[in-house]
Amino acid sequence: LRNLVVQEGGRAFLEAKHVKVHLDFKKLGIRQSQIMFRVEEQPVHGQIRLDVDPDQEENTFSMLDLWHGRVMYIHGGSEEPEDFFTFSVYSSSRREVPDYLKEKKLYRYNITVTATNDAPELSLPEGNLFVLLENTKKRLTTDVLKATDIDSNNADLVFSVLGNLNANAGYLEIEDSPGTAVASFSHVDLEELRVYYVHTGVRNSRIVLRVSDGDNLTNTLLLTLIALALDYDVANNTRIEILHADAAFIRSNQLAVRTNALTQAVDVRYDITEAPQYAELQT
């Protein structure tokens, strides 16, 4: 037996050079079409496809089928470096044959799978809309952009901005270099929450993104950016009770503002328009 070598996710013919039966066909008076192989156990990570006579017994093929390229192994695309199937050999001839063709002896046939560098995949788990308040910046996370690569480390993945379809709407920046627009950033930057979209202009825009593992590229995806005008109302405005000449903290359960910022972190500033008459506010 000689191992079949196939690329990951590929296919290859099982030929006579892979399986040899040491017989003197002429002396025994049998033909190659009468030496039969029965697949007893199918491959784990692929399948055997037979292009043989439909009248032939299921999951069987002959030595002649091997010579004529009628037996194919198709790999399923898994990352496992090897596969196998088991088979038995018998003769369909009525002539006398060696004992090993009379017994149902199982043989294991090994298949070597050569790895290929699969392209990474890019998706938008929360959909293709990214909403933030106008003239603010909002962090991009792995909930917004998701890149996966089954045979590469995430540290090797790089996001690229192929185009900002409305460049005067805003830009991407890295936390370490605020104010500087970037056209690419690493998966590590994304995981460590260092990537922001900064809105500066028109409210609606789109950017085109893709990911590379250094060799292969993903499909491109379009992320739609929508900037909303700030809208807010006072959610809590209850009085605070305090002892004479004492102090107390004003907390959010006494004073709070609700905004339309959704998941965006927004700093709310309170301007004091009229100071207390009999006390003072301290921060």
- For the record, the structure tokens of 20 come out as 């040899």
Residue 23 confidence (pLDDT): 82
Query: What three-state secondary structure class fits 67?
Result: helix
Which regions of the chain does DSSP assign to beta strands (E)?
A: 4-7, 11-13, 35-41, 46-50, 60-62, 71-75, 82-91, 107-114, 121-123, 129-133, 137-139, 146-148, 158-164, 170-174, 184-186, 195-199, 204-212, 221-228, 232-237, 255-259
Residue 176 confidence (pLDDT): 93
Q: What would the pLDDT profile of 207-238 be if each residue is shown by its tens digit?
A: 999 999 999 999 999 999 999 998 988 888 88
Give the CATH number of the domain where residue 164 resides: 2.60.40.1080
Residue 227 confidence (pLDDT): 94
233 C-beta neighbours (distance < 10 Å), count: 8
Q: Report the distance separating Cα 43 and Cα 125, nearest Å.
A: 35
Q: What would the pLDDT profile of 40-96 be if each residue is shown by its tens digit?
A: 999 999 999 999 988 889 999 999 999 999 999 999 988 899 999 999 999 888 887
Q: What would the pLDDT profile of 121-177 be if each residue is shown by its tens digit?
A: 999 999 999 999 999 999 999 999 999 998 888 999 999 999 766 778 999 999 999
Give residue 194's domain range.
121-228
Which residue bears the tokens 């970037």? Answer: 182
Q: Are residues 103 and 203 in the same domain?
A: no
Residue 165 confidence (pLDDT): 66
- pLDDT band at residue 21 using 50, 70 and 90 as cut-offs: confident
Q: Are residues 216 and 125 in the same domain?
A: yes
Of 114, 133, 152, which residue sits at a domain end?
A: 114
How many residues are listed for the chain in this entry?
283
Residue 125 confidence (pLDDT): 96
Contact 9, 117 (CB under 8 A): no
Provide the whole-model pTM.
Answer: 0.64
Higher-scoring residue by pLDDT: 111, 259: 111
Contact 89, 19 (CB under 8 A): no
Which one-letter amino acid corresponds to residue 71? Answer: V
Q: What is the mean pLDDT of residues 179-199?
A: 96
Which one-letter amino acid corresponds to residue 232? Answer: Y
Q: Report the distance separating Cα 35 and Cα 91, nearest Å.
A: 5
The DSSP output letter for 120 is P
Give the CATH number of the domain where residue 26 resides: 2.60.40
Total domains in the fold of the chain: 3
Residue 97 confidence (pLDDT): 78
Contact 183, 160 (CB under 8 A): yes
Contact 85, 42 (CB under 8 A): yes
Q: Are residues 129 and 211 in the same domain?
A: yes
Q: Are residues 65 and 22 in the same domain?
A: yes
- For the record, the structure tokens of 7 come out as 């690329």
